[in-house]
């Protein structure tokens, strides 16, 4: 039911075997873990965000160049 990184993953068979209380707990637990992960992503240093932004610009420019000149 859980992966190596601690993120809860359920398949259809697991879901069918669970009681309503277990399902509610699984949903709550999954949402809490997602919130923790998003909080960590949002707290990344500004340098990481700038590099990601610049990478997007460079990738977009390379794509536009490739489309225009058929490289």
pLDDT per position as a tens digit, 10-48: 888 988 999 999 999 988 988 998 898 888 888 878 888
Structure confidence at residue 62 as a pLDDT band (50, 70, 90): very high
Residue 2 lies in a domain: no
> Looking at residues 2-12, what average pLDDT do you find?
66
In a domain, residue 3? The reply is no
Which tokens is 71 given?
Answer: 């490289």
Q: Number of helices (H) and strands (E), helices first, in the chain?
A: 3, 0
Give the total number of structural domains in the chain.
Answer: 1
For residue 5, being part of any structural domain is answered with: no
- Asked if residue 45 is part of any domain, the answer here is yes
Asked if residue 6 belongs to a domain, the reply is: no
> With a threshold of 0.75, does the pTM exceed it?
no
In which domain, by residue range, is 55 found? 12-69
């Amino acid at each position: 039911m859980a992966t190596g990184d601690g993120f809860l993953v359920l398949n259809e068979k697991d879901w069918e075997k669970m009681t309503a209380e277990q399902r509610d707990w699984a949903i709550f637990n999954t949402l809490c873990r997602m919130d923790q992960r998003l909080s960590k992503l949002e707290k990344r240093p500004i340098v990481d965000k700038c590099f990601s932004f610049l990478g997007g610009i460079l990738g977009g420019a390379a794509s536009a160049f490739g489309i225009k000149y058929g490289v």
